[in-house]
Amino acid sequence: MAPHPTFAGVDRLWHDAPVPPSPRPILEIEHLSKRFGAVEAVRDVSFSIAAGAITGLLGGNGAGKTTSIAMILGLVKPSAGTIRVDGRELAREPVAVKAMMNFSSPYVDLPHRLTVTENLTVFARLYGVAAPRRRIAALAADLDLEGLLDRPVGRLSAGQKTRVALAKALINEPKLLLLDEPTASLDPDTADWVRRYLTDYQRRSGAAILLASHNMAEVERLCADVVMMRAGRIVDHDTPAGLLARYGRDTLEDVFLDIARDRRKGKPS
Ligand SMILES: Nc1ncnc2c1ncn2[C@@H]1O[C@H](COP(=O)(O)OP(=O)(O)OP(=O)(O)O)[C@@H](O)[C@H]1O
């Protein structure tokens, strides 16, 4: 695969003036809980994300990250709590709120037999995009998909599929982008390109991004703040620098291990 940072679209956009982050919250979660029978997957979770911010959502296997994201997307009904996007409550205005969000995960496949254009057209229609052809052409230029538009998605490489999944996630110009492991299974060059693209998109659009990842270096590089989950609860929420200082660690990976193993430091008793 060609080195992605040379993509003309990104180089052009990379030099645009960044949109300064605003303190207005795009996502507000209050006392969110989800119980599956005897399992309390998410317990009394509250946090918010400001417009123009990238927040990391970290936690070990089974911590409750996917369930939280599924509730924010309106795919799973919370047992309790409220979710507001740009001031509007998901439970009261589901159609309007879902239209402001989008999602990407390497674990959710797009239909394999449809071409890239067909897939993006389906999602453009689902989201009511005003000029689908123009939007798809712009995303194809941005994400270097122009040579792939007529190829069935099932015949693309993992890196190419990731770029198509990003195009799908950006088709409706979301105010809130939810990303689950956006660079899983990518080679370092492609992963680096995706990170640069996401940072650039966030700066240009002022969108907020919630990023669930097991890649600590990625979280440290991209995220303004980090929500740490364990057994369904938020056990810490701070900037990467704040966490490193408080836990007396050099890397977020060590902080993660402290939290996963419940060796919390600097916490008020
Ligand atoms: N549909 C379901 N029915 C029953 N239990 C569920 C369901 N979905 C999730 N759980 C349970 O809820 C808990 C949280 O799961 P979740 O998938 O949210 O964790 P996660 O942080 O995303 O983990 P991972 O990093 O492994 O993906 C787990 O104990 C899981 O077994």
Dump pLDDT digits (tens) for 225-247.
999 999 999 999 999 999 999 99
Comparing C-alpha atoms, which of 142, 161, 141, 143 is closest to residue 151? 161
- Banded pLDDT at 183 (limits 50, 70, 90): confident
What CATH number is attached to the domain comprising 257?
Answer: 3.40.50.300
Beta bridge partners of 229: 59, 234
- Is 11 inside any structural domain? no
- Please give the Cα distance from 93 to 173 (Å, whole number): 19
- Banded pLDDT at 23 (limits 50, 70, 90): low
How far, in Å, from the CA of 60 to the mean position of ligand 1?
Answer: 11
Ligand 1 neighbourhood includes 63 CB (under 6 angstroms): yes
Coil, strand, or helix at residue 177?
strand
Tell which one of 66, 69, 213, 234 to mutate to probe ligand 1, the residue whose CB is within 8 A of the most ligand atoms.
66
Q: What is the pLDDT of residues 198-215, one digit of tens each?
A: 988 888 888 999 999 888
| Listed ranges 4-13, 116-125, 215-224; the one with the highest mean pLDDT | 116-125
Q: pTM of the prediction? A: 0.85
Q: What is the mean pLDDT of residues 85-91?
A: 96
- Are 168 and 181 within one domain? no
Q: What is the mean pLDDT of residues 21-44?
A: 90
- Are 130 and 259 within one domain? no
How far, in Å, from the CA of 62 to the mean position of ligand 1?
Answer: 5
- Banded pLDDT at 31 (limits 50, 70, 90): very high
Q: What is the pLDDT of residue 263?
A: 67
Q: Please report the DSSP string for 215-245 in residue order.
A: -HHHHHHH-SEEEEEETTEEEEEE-HHHHHH
Domain boundary among 156, 173, 190: 173
- Are 61 and 73 within one domain? yes
- Is 185 inside any structural domain? yes
How many structural domains is the chain composed of? 2
Ligand 1 neighbourhood includes 213 CB (under 6 angstroms): no
Q: What is the mean pLDDT of residues 20-40?
A: 87
- Please give the Cα distance from 91 to 105 (Å, whole number): 24
How far, in Å, from the CA of 158 to the mean position of ligand 1?
Answer: 25
Ligand 1 neighbourhood includes 41 CB (under 6 angstroms): yes
